[in-house]
Structure 1
Amino acid sequence: MTGTGTRTKTWKAEISIVESGSEVRAEARLRGEDGGQIVGEGTARCNPADENVPAIGDELSVARALSDLSHQLLNRAAHDIEVHTARPVERLHA
């Protein structure tokens, strides 16, 4: 995070949504330039008493997948800080 020059990096995110009956599952993949990736998952289910509106299930499952991805990325960053500083890190929050 320090340095004198400016450098632009590109990470790619891909979200897949699979609908099966009243359940929607989303998978959010984040790929860095180094080839590594993190995958977040999210699920939404329609309550049988509610009207089935697929767009809402998509939104909920994707939001949950992105939240999962975010938490994994924060945990990875905290771990990397601990490795590089040899000191424990108070867990980071989204």
Structure 2
Amino acid sequence: MAMTHRWSVDIYIDEHEETGLIHAEARLHTNDKTQLIGHGSAHRHPKDTQVAEIGDELAVARALSELSHHLVHAVARDLEDVNKRFHSADR
């Protein structure tokens, strides 16, 4: 029987019109104690046409990319822990 797990990511975007800075935060919510957050930002050059969606997309993409890296590192740590427990049980 297949089991379905649901994880979600909340994305928060802060736009600072006066500086052209856009900051995004991606928070992963799982069914356990895992707390992973990725951050990303984008900066609009003052001479560029203001198209908010482009900056939002870039900042969010960077936040999700960082979140992805954090998740890969969490998997590596978990695998190391499992291997340590497995090998210590063999002794």
Q: Given the two structures, how large is their TM-score scaled by the length of structure 1?
A: 0.81
Q: 1:17 aligned to 5, 13, 16, which one?
A: 13
Q: Could you tell me how far apart the structure 1 residues matched to 2:75 and 2:21 are? A: 32
Residue 35 of structure 1, CA deviation: 4.3
Q: Given the two structures, how large is their TM-score scaled by the length of structure 2?
A: 0.83
Flag the structure with larger Rg.
2
Structure 1 segments of 4+ aligned residues over 3 angstroms from their partners = none
Q: What does residue 55 of structure 1 align with? A: 53
SS class of match (1:72): helix
Residue 39 of structure 1, CA deviation: 0.8
Verify: 1:76 aligned to 2:74, yes or no: yes
**Aligned residue pair count:** 82
Q: Could you tell me how far apart the structure 1 residues matched to 2:35 and 2:73 are? A: 14
Residue 48 of structure 1, CA deviation: 2.0
% of aligned pairs identical? 44
Deviations 1:59-79 (A, max 9, x none): 000000000000000000011
Gaps of 5+ in 2: 85-91
**Given residue 78 of structure 2, which amino acid in structure 1 is its aligned partner?**
D
